[in-house]
Amino acid sequence: MSGFKMNRRGLLKSGAVMGAGLAMPTVFAGRLAADGHAFTNAPTGGTVTLGFNVPQSGPYADEGADELRAYQLAVEHLNGEGDGGMMSTFSSKALNGTGIMGKKVEFVTGDTQTKSDAARASAKSMIEKDGAVMITGGSSSGVAVAVQALCQEAGVIFMAGLTHSNDTTGKDRKANGFRHFFNSYMSGAALAPVLKNAYGTDRNAYHLTADYNWGYTTEQAVKESTEAMGWNTVNTVLTPLAATDFSAYITPVLQSDADVLVLNHYGGNMVNSLTNAVQFGLRDRIVNGKNFEIIVPLYSRLMAKGAGANVKGIFGSTNWHWSLQDEGSQAFVKSFGTKYGFPPSQAAHTCYVQAMLYADAVERAGSFNPCAVVEALEGFEFDGMGNGPTLYRAEDHQCFKDVLVVRGKENPTSEFDLLEIVEVTPVDQVTYAPDHPQFAGGSLGTCNPGA
């Protein structure tokens, strides 16, 4: 490819010979786009293909099913079907229901199985065999980090789904990857003041933590934020992601002097560990003269439904909730509810928004070239998508917005009305420097267009 050179974001410019040090990928096919820039899977016909990679099996399958529902709804809206959802409330008006840059949106799906290897394999197949120009989805940070790295190698954009680990936009951040969901640090920063007011500053906490990168960073974030307000950490114990019975991990809690149990678990893991904790009588205990409390740092309505009455009164944080009354949230709840008959989860919300943000960035950039999309998303400020004013920070591709602290409702009115919002934590309280120690060691690098 003589006669071109890379600029700082990887866009090809004429004027020089590409050096030998800029080796091109060997497994991903590229095409020469109309603007003269080669990139992976440049759409050439009347359609564009997106890859939806979600957990259709495994412990996070409930989230995956709701993510897929949201993606299908987003495709309908992008193609001018249905009521348009949040397209009408989105502060950017680049989308108009004619697909993306006039191309009808099509999609393929894959099953991550909540396993990094399986997720990479399905994403690779969607890129190589199906011609996907963007990959999105997932309900595991281990999966997100693995697929984000693959997309960086392949030269396609990765719009992360439900991933909460600091690592996704921390030590494992990539130029081709973007996260709308909040992270572990933000949960700790939002929860600490609420926990202080509710339970005081003299507490002994015991952590049970899922044994992968999300669990590690969530434990660290909550541990540091609660210790800063005076809490003591009694113990931290890792639990396998594949575990279904947590009885053996609950027994030592009873034998300690802990008066708080922090469950750094998600999805089916949290449902099972919380159920075991209640069965062992933890919520009825008095320790150190205090009522024993349980905390779930990352909540979802789907988890609350699975755990049933056990979630009553338990604090946690969440990225979004269907009961929010802003115009964007209500537009999305109406669209989703009309199509599926029940309100969307936070997983559905963030995945719908990510699909819309990608399509909007392409329209604003006037190109599917991933490096043009990167330029359009970096530093992008928007509103009307359910979280209030939001910034996609250029330094790490993390979205910054308000964070919700929620609690399990004591008297729910339906199977969907299980969580109540107790605090809308302002974005300033959860904002951190790009080089914060919990996010250290990462570098975005350079955008890779792939060909």
Give yes or no: residues 177 and 59 share one domain. Answer: yes
pLDDT at 140: 86
Give yes or no: residues 154 and 232 share one domain. Answer: no
Residue where a domain stops, chosen among 301, 318, 335? 318
Q: Where are the alpha helices (H) located in 282-367, listed in sequence order?
A: 301-307, 327-340, 346-365
- What is the span of the domain harbouring residue 273? 185-318
Does some domain include residue 435? no
CATH code at position 119: 3.40.50.2300
How many Å apart are CA 314 and CA 303, to the nearest integer? 12
Tokens of 123: 């994403």
Give yes or no: residues 356 and 303 share one domain. Answer: no
How many Å apart are CA 24 and CA 10, to the nearest integer? 12
Give yes or no: residues 274 and 350 share one domain. Answer: no
Residue 17 has pLDDT above 50, yes or no: no
Q: What is the CA radius of gyration of the chain?
A: 22
Give yes or no: residues 307 and 195 share one domain. Answer: yes
What pTM did the predictor assign? Answer: 0.90
28-59: b (≥16 Cβ within 10 Å) or e: bebeebeeebbbbbbbeeeebbbbbbbbbebb
Helix (H, G, I), strand (E, B) or coil at 330: helix
Give yes or no: residues 130 and 227 share one domain. Answer: no
Residue 25 has pLDDT above 80, yes or no: no
Q: Are 135 and 123 in contact (CB under 8 A)?
A: yes
Residue 15 has pLDDT above 60, yes or no: no
Q: What is the pLDDT of residues 205-246, one digit of tens each?
A: 999 999 989 999 999 999 999 999 999 999 999 999 889 999
Tokens of 176: 């081709």
pLDDT-derived band at 37 (thresholds 50, 70, 90) equals: low
Q: Are 117 and 53 in contact (CB under 8 A)?
A: no
Give yes or no: residues 86 and 162 share one domain. Answer: yes
Q: What is the pLDDT of residues 108-163, one digit of tens each?
A: 999 999 899 999 999 999 999 999 999 999 888 989 999 999 999 999 999 999 99
Nearest CA among 24, 298, 339 for reference residue 164? 298
Span of 5-9, 92-96, 107-111, 283-287 with lowest mean pLDDT: 5-9
For strands 403-408 and 399-400, give the pairing: unpaired
Q: Are 175 and 149 in contact (CB under 8 A)?
A: no
Give every CB contact of residue 66 below 8 A, 6+ residues apart in sequence: 302, 344, 345, 347, 348
Residue 8 has pLDDT above 60, yes or no: no
Instruction: Taking residues 377-403, report their average pLDDT.
Output: 98
Helix (H, G, I), strand (E, B) or coil at 351: helix
Overall number of domains in the chain: 2
Give yes or no: residues 214 and 241 share one domain. Answer: yes
Q: What is the pLDDT of residues 251-310, one digit of tens each?
A: 999 999 999 999 999 888 999 999 999 999 999 999 999 999 999 999 988 888 888 889
Tokens of 337: 């509810």
Does some domain include residue 434? no
pLDDT at 281: 95
pLDDT at 301: 83
pLDDT at 370: 97
User: In the 3-class helix/strand/coil scheme, how is 377-427 assigned residue by residue?
Assistant: HCCEEECCCCCCCEEECCCCCEEECCEEEEEECCCCCCCCCCEEEEEEECH
| Burial of 443 from C-beta contacts in 10 A (0-12 / 13-18 / 19+) | exposed
Does some domain include residue 33? no
Give yes or no: residues 51 and 171 share one domain. Answer: yes
How many Å apart are CA 253 and CA 277, to the nearest integer? 9
Nearest CA among 156, 107, 155, 113 for reference residue 138? 113
Residue 13 has pLDDT above 80, yes or no: no
Q: Where are the alpha helices (H) located in 229-285, listed in sequence order?
A: 247-254, 267-279
**Average pLDDT score over the chain:** 91
Find the Cα–Cα–Cα–Cα dihedral 91, 92, 96, 97, rounded to 10°: -70
Contacts of range 425-428, beta carbons closer than 8 Å, 24 or more positions apart = 425/189, 425/190, 426/402, 427/388, 427/389, 427/400, 427/401, 427/402, 427/403
Instruction: Taking residues 163-170, report their average pLDDT.
Output: 95
Tracing tokens 């449902």 back to the chain, one arrives at 271
pLDDT-derived band at 21 (thresholds 50, 70, 90) equals: very low
Residue where a domain stops, chosen among 292, 318, 344? 318
Instruction: Taking residues 175-185, report their average pLDDT.
Output: 97
How many Å apart are CA 163 and CA 179, to the nearest integer? 8
Does some domain include residue 131? yes
Does some domain include residue 309? yes
Does some domain include residue 409? no
Whole-angstrom CA distances from 268 to 251, 271, 280 are 20, 5, 18
Q: Are 336 and 386 in contact (CB under 8 A)?
A: no
Residue where a domain stops, chosen among 397, 414, 430? 397
Nearest CA among 141, 150, 161 for reference residue 64? 161
Give yes or no: residues 139 and 208 share one domain. Answer: no
pLDDT at 30: 47
Give yes or no: residues 271 and 343 share one domain. Answer: no
| Strand boundaries in 4-81, DSSP class E | 4-6, 12-14, 30-32, 38-40, 47-54
pLDDT at 415: 86
Helix (H, G, I), strand (E, B) or coil at 99: coil
Give yes or no: residues 265 and 332 share one domain. Answer: no
Residue 192 has pLDDT above 60, yes or no: yes
Q: What is the pLDDT of residues 58-86, one digit of tens each?
A: 888 888 999 999 999 999 999 999 999 99
Does some domain include residue 288? yes
Does some domain include residue 408? no
How many Å apart are CA 94 and CA 151, to the nearest integer? 25
| Burial of 248 from C-beta contacts in 10 A (0-12 / 13-18 / 19+) | exposed
pLDDT at 225: 97
pLDDT at 451: 75
| Strand boundaries in 80-231, DSSP class E | 104-111, 134-137, 157-160, 177-179, 204-210
Helix (H, G, I), strand (E, B) or coil at 361: helix
